[in-house]
Structure 1
Amino acid sequence: MGQFVDRVVVQAAAMRRDRPDLAHQSFNARARVYIQESGIVELIKWFKHNSMTYPQIAKVICSCSGDLEKVRRMIKWLRSIYVKGEFLGRVLASGGSFLSRNFEELEEIISYLESFGVRRDWIGYVVSRCPQLLNFSTDELETRVQFYTDMGMNEKDFGTMVYDYPRALGYLSLEEMNSKVQYLKEFGLSNEELGRLLAFKPQLMACSIQERWKPLVKYLYHLNISRDGMKRMLMVQPTIFCLDLETVIAPKVQFLQDIGVRSDAIGNVLVKFPPVLTYSLYKKIRPVVIFLLTKAGVKQEDIGKVIALDPQLLGCSIAHKLEVSVKYFRSLGIYHFVLGQMVADFPTLLRYNVDILRPKYQYLRRVMVRPLKDLIEFPRFFSYSLEDRIEPRHQMLIANRINMKLRYMLTGSDEEFAQRVREAVERRTRFEAGKAIVETSDALETSEDGEATAAVVCQNSRDVD
């Protein structure tokens, strides 16, 4: 507050000359009058109301060289760009050198941000979370904006990125920004892919290479995840690279190993379904596993296999997806343990929408006239399109008067299926031809026996005569 105190001293001394009504009063009295007239008491009360500490208040006042009128104008300007009251104190306390800048320069910065997709009604939110943006010169701000636009970001993506995480633009040094981008490129990302990635998850720029990324990459490497696998994880779920390895990621991997997912399959699970690492272990992952074991009939020895084959199950809602599917299959007359075997054979079974399953089941039972046993033996039946696969192939079987198991009817390409049909028709033709030969042979033998009997009878008749 030294500068403000100096201002009080100067103004109190000047009052003796400029204010005849105060000339006869003591210096302390004139200083008291100046302090009261300056409005600093009300201003300090306002700052305290907005959760500012006394050192922060002193910093703001000193930044304006004790000119309280400038502080008031700055508050008015911040409100004009939609900085909310609850954040005004924070912006003033952490803003730094922008408090001494003229408003034309500040408006130029705001206009520049607007020209690159940061909407006017977003500006207050952006400045509230990163007041450092107001400290940049126009040239420095242009350099930072170009850093992102050179990666293929359009105005819409850039504006959304700045709104989602303003610090990506204004908090880090250009050197830090470049080093992080170069590290991310080592995963095989192109410039455009990197632009899309940072537009979607700009919080990556806040992560430390040494403390966050390098330990994670080493850990994933030991899980046999290749660079391409890490790239997929980064593109599908970039949040993973913002998570703490020790407290968030490692416990989930350990849990997967504990339920029976083989160590050599863990990496494939994470690459196939990266979001699993972002789910809560106790609120999401464990409850789904318990549901599969208790309600879906999956055996303890099969649960690891089920998760390894279809880790997306861990992302399903128990109430709105898994429970509904289990109830539907049980309503078909499928026993609890039988359903568990079906899920072990084809885990995706529980992720299908019941509205899609129902017409396929009705076609199987009413049109194809197949027993429930056929479905139990081949639960993958539900994975095929009714219109494009099941109906056409069933009609072909009917046209050729043959039958085959669902497994052979639905798997393979159309050419392979046509070949199976031809082979089945040939077998039937050979069978029918062989049966005809046998029947003809039997008929000939019967005729010959009849003729021999007639001859014997005739011969006996002659002997009597």
Structure 2
Amino acid sequence: MQDSHTLCSTFSHPKLHFPSARHDFPSAHHDFPSLSRPRNLNSHVHFPSLSTKTITPIPSPPIPPKITQTPSISPPPNSPHSEFQEKMLYLDSIGVDFFSLINDHPPIVSASLNDIKSTVDLITSLDFAAAEFRRIVSMCPEILTSRASDILPVFTFLLREAKVNGSDLKRVISRRPRLLVSAVKTRLRPTLYFLQSMGIAEVNKHTYLLSCSVEDKLIPRLQYFQKIGFSKREATAMFRRFPQLFNYSVKDNYERKLNYFVVGMGRDLKELKEFPQYFSFSLENRIKPRHQACVDKGVCFPLNVLLKTSEAQFHRRLDVCCNSSMPLTKSPLSPIK
């Protein structure tokens, strides 16, 4: 009995609520259409039909587009394209054809415009005329890609070590522009010491040789004359007497003129020791015509008389020899050696 009372108290607890015994279940009498008869489409009760169509989700609110800044059509002032145009216009203003320069020296494309201007200002400070400057650039376009800070030490070297007079500096550069792109430590100074060691005291008169490589150009030319029969001392004396001999090509000058000297003229190599300037004269325009003129007249002149005299002096001497008695054997005009 007590248990029954407790149970009743539990269900009548004010905080607990249970649904009424009357449930709202569907009635046994439904207004569903019968499965055995056609479905009444006009019935007031409608049930959703199964469909294979996907339910379209509710679209999210649109995201506002990001605002991007439209790039400028014209390139900024410091762009490579702009600097290229400025470089082209600047070189054109000083009379240098930019496109020809690219063909001769492609690195000019990447050279800094400021560096080019500094280099041009430095070189033109020597009072080069526009035509003279264009000639220098055509001979050595590498100058325009060299910095002024690299060229200044060359000026200092020429003035202090090579003993070039300040008034001659323009002439020295004009004759050999490649000096400006030659390193003092690895090229100019070693060549200066080599020439001085040979006994060439006044190197300032032969500064065009300073940009030459001792190993690749100077020594091979000395060795060539030793191979054809001169001693080292004799070959050195020839170059000391005529330093320009270093400037000539072995194949295009030495070999061709030496072959004609020995075979065509029949002369002795000893004459070249006294007159190495023979290699400075044109084979076709001076050596051959004058030698042939002497052969026709039966006269043999010493090399210096044959080649150094002017055209008028040469023919006057030739006429004197032909119209006078035979000179003495010891005379330099004698055809008998």
Same fold (TM over 0.5): yes
Gaps of 5+ in 1: 1-16, 18-22, 314-465
2:275 to 218, 229, 233: 233
Shift of 1:178: 1.1
- 1:149 to 2:196 alignment: yes
What SS does the aligned partner of 2:193 have?
helix
Q: Using a 3 Å threshold, how does the CA distance of structure 1 residues 96 and 56 change in structure 2: closer, same or farther?
A: closer
- 1:110 to 2:161 alignment: no
1:286 corresponds to which letter in structure 2? Answer: H
2:296 match: 258
1:193 to 220, 234, 237: 237
2:176 match: 130
Instruction: State the distance in 2 between where 1:292 and 1:198 align.
Output: 30
What SS does the aligned partner of 2:210 have?
helix
What SS does the aligned partner of 1:63 have?
helix
2:182 corresponds to which letter in structure 1? Answer: F
1:85 match: 130
Kindly report which structure 2 residues correspond to 1:30-429, keeping only aligned pairs within 5 A, or say none. 34=82, 38=86, 40-48=88-96, 52=97, 54-56=99-101, 62-63=107-108, 65-114=110-159, 115-140=161-186, 141-154=188-201, 157-162=202-207, 166=208, 168-171=209-212, 174-185=215-226, 186-188=229-231, 189-190=233-234, 193-194=237-238, 196-199=240-243, 202=244, 204-222=245-263, 223-234=265-276, 238=277, 240-261=278-299, 266=300, 269-270=301-302, 274-281=304-311, 283-290=312-319, 298=323, 302=325, 305-306=326-327, 310-311=331-332
Shift of 1:193: 2.6
Gaps of 5+ in 2: 1-68
1:45 corresponds to which letter in structure 2? Answer: S
Instruction: State the distance in 2 between where 1:277 and 1:158 align.
Output: 26
Kept in 1, the 8 Å contact 2:200–2:240? The answer is yes
Q: TM-score, normalised by structure 1?
A: 0.47
What SS does the aligned partner of 1:306 have?
coil
Instruction: State the distance in 2 between where 1:97 and 1:285 align.
Output: 44
Kept in 2, the 8 Å contact 1:40–1:68? The answer is no
2:210 corresponds to which letter in structure 1? Answer: L
Kept in 2, the 8 Å contact 1:60–1:93? The answer is no
Superimposed CA distance per residue, residues 306-364 of structure 1 (whole angstroms, 9 cap, x where no aligned partner): 39764469xxxxxxxxxxxxxxxxxxxxxxxxxxxxxxxxxxxxxxxxxxxxxxxxxxx
What SS does the aligned partner of 1:109 have?
helix
- 1:26 to 2:73 alignment: yes
Kept in 2, the 8 Å contact 1:84–1:124? The answer is no
Q: Using a 3 Å threshold, how does the CA distance of structure 1 residues 249 and 38 change in structure 2: closer, same or farther?
A: closer
Shift of 1:87: 2.4
Shift of 1:35: 6.8
Aligned residues: 259
- Whose helix proportion is higher, 1 or 2? 1
Shift of 1:172: 5.9
* Largest Rg, 1 or 2: 2
Q: Using a 3 Å threshold, how does the CA distance of structure 1 residues 259 and 47 change in structure 2: closer, same or farther?
A: same
Q: TM-score, normalised by structure 2?
A: 0.62
Instruction: State the distance in 2 between where 1:193 and 1:285 align.
Output: 28
